[in-house]
Amino acid sequence: MITNRFLFVIGAIVVTTALDLTAAEPAPGTPKKPVSTEYHGVNVEDPYQWLEKDDEPDVKAWSAAQNQRTRQYLDQLPDRAAIEKQLTEWYAKTSPGYSSLVSRPGLLFVMKFQPPKQQPLLVTLTSADELKSEKVVLDPNGLDAKGTTAIDWFVPSLDGKYVAVSLSKGGSEDGTLHFYETATGQALPDSIAHVQYPTAGGSAAWNADGTGIYYTRFPRTGERPEADLNFYQQVYFHKLGAPDTEDTYSIGKDFPRIAEIILEGSRDGRYILASVANGDGGDFAHYLLGPEGSSSGWKQITKFSDQIKAAHLGRDKALYLLSRNAAPRGKVLRLPLETPELSKAVEIVPTGEPVIQQIVPTADALFVGDLLGGPSQIRRFDLDGTGETIIPIPKISAVQEMVTLEDGSLLFRDQSYTEPAAWFHCAKEKTEALKTALRSTSPVSFADIEVTREFATSKDGTKMPLNIIFRKGMKRDGQNPTLLYGYGGYGISMSPNFEFTRRLWFDHGGVYVVANIRGGGELGEDWHKAGNLTKKQNVFDDFAAAAEYLIKEKYTRPEKLAIQGGSNGGLLMGATITQHPDLMRAVVSQVGIYDMLRVELAPNGAFNVTEFGTVKDPEQFKALYAYSPYHRVVDGTKYPSILMMTGANDGRVAPYHSRKMVARLDEANKSQNPILLRTSSSAGHGIGTALNERIKQLADTYAFLFAQLGMTGKVE
């Protein structure tokens, strides 16, 4: 699927190049300025703490020098420019992608991504099969010539007349709420700053008649100390047309410092539900406001300890709850709104083998989205839990979104490793799901790609699923370049997903593997809890066992194995580098966490304490220090080739983690393998990154991996 021009360039590499594709210029020297900190009687020295100061001239100079060295290495790779050209051409040929669908009477609101536009835009449709009915409500590409303004999220009023949109710039996710008239796209004069931030996200819910909106807001200068301005998220009410200085406080002052609030309104507008997360560890409390017109105010329905993981307002004056209390794989409860006390909730869907992930009530049915170790399934029930029916979906695929329409039917978005995303419609009281016009097509075919699920055995005997994707006819002779991907945290599941750019990898003989390791939610809450806090080492053991399995089963060998992960998956990369430096040839680690002793000092790091633990607790400190990648780098070790990527505007993981880790690895490394740092000045954690920058990041990644694994030409 690669053009002749691309093949010619690669052919030229083999014949004419004498470059060493594995080496890089010597790393710039990094001064050591040791700072010592004592934790529970343990003295820890940090030689590169000075690199934490983003705005210091010497830090900027060091980072610029690293970037220059990285660019010199990547840009001299003979296939780097051809890869970017190929990716750009493919993106230009892709059909639109549709996501974040919201239903309102007579309208569907949806985010549409249409390359070569840099950012998705917000449009409306009259139905999922009427593409000609599309009207653009807001195109952020028209707001910013550089394409760095992004829509964080949007919420239409209940009648669809207005839509509230959070906008942020440069990948910062620091959102300001704006309001637009749906029919014309005309902006209203109202705007509200700092309703969204990477620490706790943001959310909103309209009142019944569309005259005002409840929204999340962070403290403003003077309301809290400077250090708390990205914490203590609260809910306020804004009346359209009024200045935001007149907005009224609603709830949140008594919530934890690391509260994360999601708001949902009932379809009749009489109730507002606030789901409050206690940081990122997976515990929630729920509060209910209503019915409209009553003077009772907010009522707490659940506590963090109740293990209610999700709640949604039904159209039948009931609240539907996903509980993991004595049910790690989940059960569903129904709670009448007339008596909103958890003790009055009735179990309607018992726990079983599937892991319940989503619950979507309609006026007369309940749709349940399950996980089966990674892939999905959908079940339909009557509202009392009877009449269970399986809705057929494609094999080894993932249902990412489920939306009910006004007529009680269901739309869901599904994709697999070999089929791009499409929205399917399941009519009321039907079991057949039909693909709608909201579907993506790929610029390249995956007809020759095969997917198999196998199981590796971890250090403690735990078996974990592996999704192995490769070209049909591949020989298991230990010679295949293989890229192993993992995450393992927050109960987030690595479900099947389609990425057409992987065609480059497959065309060069590559095998792509996704490991469903502990820390994720693929096998329920127990799977998550077995990989968080003091049990985090299980995650790293699982990933190492996945790599060892691929070698043992002759998919690949260490010299042909690369690993990749981002964010929490970047921590996974750091741990694998330091615990098993000889297990792989190359590593791509994006926006990763590496210093586990200081991560909680950053604003978003404090939200991670419920997932990782805190150095303030002796046992949790012991676990953190034992695996913290930055502290486990050993002088004189031969480390693999490493490309670390970060964004200067990252509000989720401070870029200094990557700077410090690269500095420490450079100091300790005794191999000739390059250790590279790439910092993007126009991006953050990845959300809201402009398409051009995403393409450049992909091209750098593929060029680096091709060079390191010796993938010098297309495999016929």
In sequence order, what DSSP letters do the residues of 487-520 get, joined into one string? ---TT--------TTHHHHHHTT-EEEEE--BTB
Q: Above 70 in pLDDT, residue 474?
A: yes
At residue 119, the pLDDT reads 94
| Structure token digits, residue 520 | 């994720």
| Structure token digits, residue 238 | 């804004």
Q: In terms of Cα–Cα distance, which of 173, 111, 102 is closest to 141?
A: 111
199: alpha, beta or left, given left = phi > 0 and alpha = psi -120 to 50? Answer: alpha
Q: How far apart are CA 476 and CA 325, in angstroms?
A: 44
| Structure token digits, residue 47 | 């030689």
CA within 13 Å, CB half, 163: 29
At residue 409, the pLDDT reads 94
Asked which of 10-14, 386-390, 540-544 is least confident by mean pLDDT, the reply is: 10-14
Any idea what DSSP says for residue 685? S
* CB within 8 Å of 358: residues ≥ 6 apart: 310, 367, 368, 369, 399, 402
Q: Above 90 in pLDDT, residue 10?
A: no
Cα distances from 403 to residues 313, 323, 708, in angstroms, run: 13, 21, 44
For residues 51 and 107, membership in a common domain is answered with no
433-439 sheet: strands from edge to edge: 397-404, 410-416, 422-426, 433-439
Number of domains into which the chain is organized: 3
Q: In terms of Cα–Cα distance, which of 497, 485, 555 is closest to 701?
A: 485
Examine the fold and report which residue of 324, 352, 380 is the final residue of a domain before the chain moves on: 352
For residues 275 and 177, membership in a common domain is answered with yes
Range among 16-30, 287-301, 347-361 with highest mean pLDDT value = 347-361
Rg of the chain (C-alpha set) = 25
Q: How far apart are CA 211 and CA 634, in angstroms?
A: 61
For residues 621 and 664, membership in a common domain is answered with yes
Q: Are 674 and 66 in contact (CB under 8 A)?
A: no
For residues 345 and 277, membership in a common domain is answered with yes
SS3 label, residue 219: coil
For residue 716, being part of any structural domain is answered with: no
For residues 436 and 449, membership in a common domain is answered with no
Four-point Cα dihedral 251, 253, 257, 258, nearest 10: 0
Scanning the structure block, which residue is given the tokens 């200068």?
221
Which element (helix H / strand E) includes 682?
A: none
Q: Above 80 in pLDDT, residue 22?
A: no
For residues 157 and 11, membership in a common domain is answered with no
Residue 217 banded pLDDT, cuts 50, 70, 90: very high
For residue 156, being part of any structural domain is answered with: yes
Q: Above 50 in pLDDT, residue 16?
A: no
At residue 641, the pLDDT reads 98
Q: Look up the pTM and report it.
A: 0.89
For residues 131 and 215, membership in a common domain is answered with yes
Examine the fold and report which residue of 332, 352, 372 is the final residue of a domain before the chain moves on: 352
Cα distances from 77 to residues 296, 481, 703, in angstroms, run: 67, 18, 7
For residues 475 and 554, membership in a common domain is answered with yes
For residue 714, being part of any structural domain is answered with: no
For residue 523, being part of any structural domain is answered with: yes
Cα distances from 559 to residues 480, 545, 547, 556, 681, in angstroms, run: 10, 17, 12, 8, 33
Q: Are 421 and 503 in contact (CB under 8 A)?
A: no
Q: With the C-alpha atoms ordered 71, 74, 77, 81, is the resulting torsion angle positive or negative?
A: negative
* CB within 8 Å of 526: residues ≥ 6 apart: 328
Any idea what DSSP says for residue 27? P
Q: How far apart are CA 84 and CA 700, in angstroms?
A: 8
For residues 62 and 185, membership in a common domain is answered with no
Residue 230 banded pLDDT, cuts 50, 70, 90: very high
Examine the fold and report which residue of 378, 410, 441 is the final residue of a domain before the chain moves on: 441
For residues 227 and 213, membership in a common domain is answered with yes
For residue 715, being part of any structural domain is answered with: no
For residues 412 and 454, membership in a common domain is answered with no
For residues 221 and 322, membership in a common domain is answered with yes
Average pLDDT over residues 554-576: 97
The domain of 436 spans 353-441
Q: With the C-alpha atoms ordered 338, 340, 343, 348, is the resulting torsion angle positive or negative?
A: positive
For residue 114, being part of any structural domain is answered with: yes
For residue 483, being part of any structural domain is answered with: yes
For residue 112, being part of any structural domain is answered with: yes
Q: Above 60 in pLDDT, residue 2?
A: no
Residues with a known catalytic role: 567, 685
